[in-house]
Structure 1
Amino acid sequence: MTYRATLAAVIALATAPAAWAANSAPQPAPIVDTIPDSRDIAFPGTIKLDVDASDTARGIFRVHETIPVTAGPLVLLYPEWLPGDHAPEGTIDKLAGLTITAGGKSIPWVRDHVDVSAFHLVVPPGVASIDISFQFLSATAEAQGRVVMTPDLLNLEWNSVILYPAGYFARRIMVDAGATYPAGWTSATALRTTAVATGAIQYPTVDLDTLVDSPVYAGRYARIEQLSPDVTLNLFADRPSQLVATPEEIAAHRNLVVQANKLYGAQHYDHYNFLLAISDRLGGVGLEHHRSSEDGVAGDYFMKWSDTVGEHDLLPHEYTHSWNGKFRRPADLWTPEFRTPMRNSLLWVYEGQTQFWGNILAERSGLVDHDDAMGALAEVAARYSTLPGRKWRPLVDTTNEEIVSQRRPVGWASWQRTEDYYSEGQLIWLEVDAIIREQSHGRKSMDDFAKAFFGIRDRDWGELTYTFDDVSKTLNGVVPYDWAGFLHARVDAVAPVAPLGGIERGGYRLAFTDTPTHYWKAGEGEKKIVDLTYSLGMVVDKDAVLGKVEWDGPAFKAGLTVGTTIVAVDGDAYSDDRLKEAVTSAKGTTTPIRLLVKSNDAFRDVVVDWTGGLRYPRLERTGKGPSTLDALYAAH
C-alpha cells in the first residue's frame, strides 16, 4: 500500500460515523429450559437396570439399562443433587461410553447446554423401549475423587450408575435392579435380594428414591453381626485381620441400637444395615440413608480400638440420621428428584442435632468412655471459642458451605469458616438441653424433645418435613421459653462469643493445659499430625508440612502459610519432638522460636513470637454438685 493510500484510510476511519467507533455490546442469548418439570405422577413402566461390578482391577462399573418410552422428545437425567451430600455432587464426570439404541439402531443424544447432567434425544416412531449402555469409571487415585472400587472392596451407589427420565418424582419411577459382583464376594444392602445366581444378584423392584437410598457394599473379606432383630452390622475390610473384634467391642455396637431406641421411642425403618468399610484403600465416607448408612473407617479401627476413638462416633451419627435427616427432613431441603436444588438453611438442626446426639449415643452405648466424650467436647468448645471467622460470618451462612466449596480444601479455614453447623450446632443444642433442665427444674431434657420430634409414627420410613417454626413449637411443647428468639440469636446473628452455655451450665468449664487428653493424642496419632492450634496456631503433618495455619495466630503473624515445610527448629533438623521442646523451652521467656522453612524452592528464616508454652483443651468440673452434662451423656 502506498503512503497516499495509507493516509486516505486513516482519514476515512477518523471521519467514520460515531456508531462505528463504539465498542460492540451484545445482548445475552436466551436460556430456554427444555427439561420437563417433575410431576407427582407414575412413570409408565419399569426401568430395567443391570450393573456389572466385577472389574475390580480397573475400577470400572459397566451399566446397561432398558427404559420404556414413547415416540418423541425425551430427556434423561443423571442424579446431581444428592441427599446427604446437601450439594450438587453427582459424579457426572465419571460417566463415559454412553450409547443409546433401539432395536439395534443407534439413537443420537445431545447434552443439555446448561444442565450438563441432562441428555436430550428423540425416540423414533414405533419404539417402545430404549437400551442404554455406559461405564462409571471409579477414581483409581484420591486426586480423581473418592475411590469406590478396589481389588478387595467396592461401594456401589446406584445414583452413580443410572439415567432416569425427566418429568417425574423419583418416588414414582420404578426400577428393577440387579448387579454382578466378583465370585465369592459377600454383599450387603438395605435392599433384599429376590434371586441369586453365580456372582449375580437380582434385587426387588423399588422406586428410584428407595434405590438411590440403598447403596451396596461388597467385598472379598466380610463379617456379619446381628445387632438386633432389625439391625445388622456388615463389616468389610482389606484383609481378614481387620475384622477381628472383641466381644466387648461388638457389644458396644449392639448397645448403640438399644440406646437409640430408648432415646427416640420409635423406629423409622423395617430393617437397618450398617455398611462399614474398614479400609485404608476405599475412600472414606459417612453417608446417611433411611435403612442403612455408608461408613468408612481406618484399617486399624478394631486393631487399635483405644487409638481410633475419634472414629467411634461415626456410626452413632449416621444411625441418628435415620430419624433426623431422613425421616424428619427440612422442608426446603427435601426435593422430588435429583435435579432440583437443595436449600440448606436448617442444617444446624439436620446435622447439628445429629452431631449432638451422635456424640451422646457414642458414650451411652459404650463406644467411647466419659473421659473421651468430654475430650471430644473440649475440642469443639476450644475451636469455637477461638474461631476468628465468627467475627464476620454467622452460623447460618455456613449451611451453604457444601454448595459453595463442595468440600474442597481451603487455605484459611479458621477465617473463612467451613461446615460449622455440625459442631457449633452441637454446642447450641447442649445449651438448649441446659435451659430445658433449668426451666423444668430437672424434670425435662432434650430427650423429651427427641421423642416428641423424632419418635412419632413408628415404622414410618417416608419423609416428614419440618420448618423452623415446627422446631420452636416442639421445644415450647417441652418447656415454654422464647425458643425462636434464642435460636435466631445463636444461628442467624454474627456472634463472636461461642455458645458455651451448655457446658458451663452443665457443671464444666473449658481450660487449657500443657498435657493433651487421651482423645487429643489419639487424634494426632490417627491423623499423623502435631496439632499446635492453641499455641503456635498451626498443625504440622507427617512430612513436616503445615496443614493448617490459624488466622491471626502466632504462625500467621510470622508469615507462615499452609503448604510450607519446616526444615529446622532453632538450628536443629526438624522433628515433632524438637518442635514441642522448643515451644516448652520458650515458655515464660522473651526468646522467640526460630524456624527454617521452605516454600516452593525458597528457604527463609522466620521467628514465631510465642512464649505461652503448649496448650491443649480439656473440660474441668466446676462445683461439687451433680452435673447435668454428665446426666445428659449417661446411659439410659
Structure 2
Amino acid sequence: MSSSRRAATAIALSFTFALGGAHAAQAPHPLAASWPGTIRLDVDATDIDHRIFRVREQVPVSPGPLTLLYPQWLPGKHAPRGAIDKLAGLHFSANGQSVAWKRDPLDVYAFQLEVPAGADRLDVEFEFLTPQNPTQGRVVVTPSMLNLQWEAVALYPAGVEARGVIVDASVRLPSGWRFAGALDVAPGQTPNAPGADGSVRFAPVPFATLVDSPLYAGRHFRRIDLAPGAKRPVFLDLVADDAKDLEAKPAQIRAHQVLVEQARKLYGSQHYDHYDFLLALSDDLGGIGLEHHRSSENSADPAYFTDWDKQAPGRSLLPHEYTHSWNGKFRRPADLATANFNTPMQGSLLWVYEGQTQYWGHVLSARSGLWSEEQARDALALVAHTYAENRPGFGWRDVQDTTNDPVVAARRPLPYRSWQMSEDYYNAGLLTWLAVDAKLRELSHERRSLDDFARAFFGVDDGEWGVSTYTRADVVTALAAIAPFDWDAFLSAHVEANAAPLDGLAAAGWKLVYTDSPSAYQRSVEADRKSLDLSASLGIVVGTKDGHISDVRWNGPAFKAGLGATGTLVAVDSRAFTPERLADAIKAAKGGGAPIELLVKDGDYYRTVRVDYHGGLKYPHLERIPGTVDRLAAIFAPRR
C-alpha cells in the first residue's frame, strides 16, 4: 500500500475510533474520503509593508448548499488556535456573480452558502492580516523574512477528510527573496528560488500535507546540506535578519550533521523522502518551535552561530522537533489523529508525544555534540529542580491532567505557574522517560534501554511517511517486549500521581544538589531571558534590567512575605535595585540576622516587603551517587 493510502486509512481508522468516544456528539457522521476535483490556491505575500497575505481560491463545486471551513484544531498546537480573527475581506463568487454567505452562529470557523445553478467552480477571495506587533499575535512577516503557514490562508470543504482534498498551491514572494519548505515544486520550477515575478507553484498535495508543510522565505537565505549524498536528503534552511548571522563554522555545521546521523542510529529509519530544518535567526519574527513530518518550523537567537558559546539553551530545539518526525507525525496518539482540522483533538498521550520527544531532544543534543555532556547534565539539573522545588501544584494536579492545558490555558501567561502548572507533560514527561530508561537498563542488566523501544516503536516501516496511530496499551506492550514488567502500573505511578516523577535521576546514578553558584548553562538561560532566577532561594524570578517580578513560587519565602507575581523591585535594603545587590543581600542574610528588605512598586503604590529567608543563594547541579551505575553517561554517549 502506498504512503498516501496508508495515511488515509490510518486517519480514517482513528476518526472512526474517535466517533465511539468523546467526539461522538460533535461529529455524528463519518467524513467523506475525498472531494471531487482539485482546489487551486494562490497566495500573494509581496505586501510586506502592510504585512498582508492576499488569497485567491478556486473550489470545484456542485449547485446546492456548501459549507467551507477555516482550520481550527491545529496539529502540534493540540488546541483550537486557528487565527480566524485575522481573516478579512471574504468574498465568494460563481459565474461572475457574487454569492451571499453567512457564518455559522455556533461555529465561527464555518461559512455557509448556496452554490447557484449551473456553477461548477466557486471563487474565493480574502486577506489574512498578519499581526503588526506581538500584542496582536505571533509576528510572521518582517521587512527581511516571512513564515507562511498554509492553514492561515485557506478554506476547505466541510464533511471531507483533510487528506481527501487535493490542493494546487502557489505563492508570490517579494523580489529577490528565496524560500524553503517541505513541499516539492511543480515541474519546471527551481527549488528554493522563485520565478522572475517572485512566484512559485508547488506540486498538488492533499490539504493535510499542505498544512503540514509551512514555508520560510527571506532576503538573507542559506541552505546547508546535513546529509551529503544521502538517499533521503536533509537540509538546514536559514533565514536571518542580517546576512552576517548566516555565518556558521564547520564544527557547528558538523554538530547538526551528527544530529541527523545519531537520529538515524537511534530509530533505524527515516519517515520522510526529504527533510528540511526551517530555522529563522531573528529578533523580529515571532518565536516558534513547531513540528512537521518533513520539516521543522523554528526560530532562534540571531547569534545562534555567531555567539555559539552562549547559545547552548536554544540548541535542543532542533533535536526535539526532528524527533517529532518519528514520534508525533509518523506514530501519533489515536486521539490526536483527527480526520480534518475542525474535529476536536484529545491529548491524553501528550506525555508520550511531547514528553518522550523532550527526552530524546535532550539526549540527541548530547549525542550529536550540540551540547557537551556537562551542558546536558546542567540542563537536566534545571528540569529536576523545577520538579523538586518549584511545582507545589502537584498537591492538586498530576501530569496526566496537564495534557488538557493546550485547551485550558492556551499558553497564556499564568499568575502562579508553580501552583497552577501548565503543559508539564513536557518536562515531567522527560523525567518519566528517564525513569523508564533507567528501569529498562536495570531490568536487562544494562543490555536493553529506551533506545530499543524507540527503534521498535517509532522506527518501524522505514521509508513510510503516512500516519500510524498508537494507544497507551500499545506503549505498554512495546515496553514489555523490551523487558517484562508491570509497565502500566509504573507509568501510572509517574503520570497519574500527585507527586513529581523524580526517581529516574537516582536510578540513573545522580542526585540533585544546590550550590551558591549557577552553572554556565544556567547563566546562559538567564542571559537569554534577561532574568535572575532565584526560584531555589527567595522563590522569585526577576528581570535583570527593570526589576520586574515575573514569577513567584507558591508558598515560597517571597510569597509568604507578601510578594505576588506583579510589581517591580525598586530597592534592596534601602539601596537601588540591581541584580548584584539582590544577590549580595541574600548572601548577607545567610544563617540568620534581619530579613531581606525589598521596596516594591506595584502600579502607583510603593510598599516595603521583608523576606525572612536565610538559606543563601541556591542553584541546582547534578552530583554522582557513589557506588551506583552511571546510566546517565551511557544515555548521553553517542551511538557508534
- TM-score of Structure 1 vs Structure 2, range by shorter chain: over 0.9
Q: Give matches, 1:309-348, under 5 Å.
A: 309-348=312-351
Matched, 1:79 2:71: yes
Asked if 1:527 corresponds to 2:529, the answer is yes
* Mapping 1:206-605, distance limit 5 Å: 206-228=205-227, 229=230, 230-386=233-389, 387-495=391-499, 498-541=500-543, 542-605=545-608
How far apart in 1 are the matches of 2:575 and 2:33?
Answer: 72
Would the aligned equivalents of 1:38 and 1:166 in 2 still touch at CA under 8 Å? no
Please point out which of 151, 159, 163 is paired with 1:171. 163
> How far has the Cα of 1:563 moved from its partner?
2.2
1:125-155 per-residue CA deviation (whole Å, 9 max, x = no partner) reads: 0011011000001111110000001110100
CA displacement, residues 156-180 of structure 1 (integer Å, 9 cap, x when unaligned): 0000000001011000000000000
CA distance in 2, matches of 1:134, 1:302: 39
2:204 corresponds in structure 1 to 205
Match status 1:45 vs 2:37: yes
Matches within 5 A, 1:18-97: 37=29, 39-97=31-89
**Aligned residue type for 1:578:** R
Which amino acid in 2 is paired with 1:601?
D
Counterpart Cα distance in 2 of 1:406 and 1:531: 24
Q: Give 1:36 shift.
A: 9.2
Look up the equivalent residue of 1:309 and give its one-letter code: A
Confirm or deny: 8 A CA contact 2:495 2:501 kept in the other structure: no
Secondary structure of 2:359's counterpart equals helix
Partner SS for 2:265? helix
Q: Distance in 2 between matches of 1:34 and 1:379?
A: 42
Amino acid at match of 1:408: R
Q: Tell me if the contact between 1:273 and 1:293 (Cα under 8 Å) persists in the aligned partners.
A: yes
Query: Are residues 294 and 182 of structure 1, via their aligned partners in 2, closer, same or farther at CA, if it must alter by over 3 Å?
Result: same
Separation in 2, partners of 1:380, 1:460: 34
- Partners of 2:376 and 2:105 lie apart in 1 by 50
Q: How many residues align?
A: 602
Whole-Å separation in 1 of the counterparts to 2:521 and 2:50: 38
Ranges in structure 2 where 5+ consecutive residues have no aligned partner: 1-24
> Take 1:183 and 1:624, find their aligned partners in 2: how far apart are those partners?
64
CA–CA separation in structure 2 for the residues paired with 1:37 and 1:50: 32
Alignment of 1:49-198 (within 5 A): 49-194=41-186, 195=189, 196-198=194-196
CA–CA separation in structure 2 for the residues paired with 1:200 and 1:544: 48
* Residues 1:419 and 1:274: Cα distance change in structure 2 (over 3 Å): same
SS of residue in 2 equivalent to 1:50: strand
Deviations 1:96-142 (A, max 9, x none): 00011112211011001011000000001001101100000111111
Match of 1:12 in 2: none
Kindly state the Cα deviation for residue 625 of structure 1 after the two structures are TM-superposed: 5.7
- Deviation at 1:591? 1.4
Instruction: Please list the CA deviations of residues 292-346 of structure 1 after superposition, one character each: whole Å capped at 9, or x if unmatched.
Output: 0101111111121111111000000000000000001001111000011000000
Q: Deviations over 1:227-248 (max 9, x none)?
A: 0131010011000111111111
Per the alignment, residue 23 of structure 1 pairs with: none
Post-superposition Cα deviations, 1:323-380, rounded to whole Å, max 9, x if no partner, equal 0000010011110000110000000000000000010000100001011100000011
Q: Where does structure 1 lack aligned partners over 5 or more consecutive residues?
A: 1-32
Cα pair 1:399 1:421 within 8 Å, conserved? yes
User: Alpha carbons of 1:427 and 1:36: their partners in 2 closer, same or farther (altered >3 Å)?
Assistant: closer
Check 1:65–1:35 CA distance in 2 against 1; reply closer, same or farther (3 A cut). Answer: farther
What is the distance in 2 between the residues matched to 1:459 and 1:40?
28
Q: Match of 1:225, as an amino acid?
A: I
Superposition deviation, residue 35 in structure 1: 9.2
Q: Distance in 1 between matches of 2:578 and 2:497?
A: 43
**C-alpha contact (below 8 Å) 1:35/1:166 kept by paired residues:** no
1:18 corresponds to:
none
Contact 2:27 2:343 in 1 (8 A): no
Tell me, in whole angstroms, the C-alpha distance in 2 between the residues paired with 1:564 and 1:94: 33
Could you tell me whether the CA contact under 8 Å between 1:38 and 1:169 is conserved in 2? Answer: no
In 2, Cα distance between equivalents of 1:88 and 1:40: 22
Contact 1:112/1:118 (8 A) holds in 2:
yes
Matching residue's letter, 1:514:
D
Q: What SS does structure 2 have at the residue aligned with 1:461?
A: coil
**Offset at residue 621 of structure 1 (A):** 1.1
Do the aligned residues in 2 keep the contact of 1:597 with 1:605 (CA within 8 Å)?
yes
Write the distance in 2 (CA, Å) between the matches of 1:382 and 1:439: 27
What whole-Å deviation, never above 9, does each CA across 1:203-251 have from its counterpart, x for those lacking one?
0000001000000000000111000131010011000111111111110
Q: Which amino acid aligns with 2:453?
A: F
| Cα distance in 2 between the residues matched to 1:598 and 1:38 | 58
In the alignment, what sits opposite 1:3? none
TM-superposed deviation, 1:500: 2.1
Secondary structure of the corresponding residue to residue 424 of structure 2: coil
What SS does the corresponding residue of 1:116 show, helix, strand or coil?
Answer: strand
Matched, 1:615 2:618: yes
Matched-pair contact (CA < 8 Å) for 1:50–1:64: yes
Deviation at 1:560, TM superposition (A): 1.0
Q: How far apart in 2 are the matches of 1:56 and 1:620?
A: 52
Let me know the Cα RMSD of the aligned residues: 1.2
The Cα shift of 1:494 comes to 2.0
CA shift, 1:626, in A, is: 4.6
Q: Distance in 2 between matches of 1:307 and 1:563?
A: 29
C-alpha distance in 1 between matches for 2:413 and 2:27: 34
Query: What CA distance in whole angstroms lies between the structure 2 residues aligned with 1:35 and 1:54?
Result: 39
The CA distance in 1 between the partners of 2:488 and 2:321, in whole Å, is 27
Task: State percent identity of aligned pairs.
Answer: 53
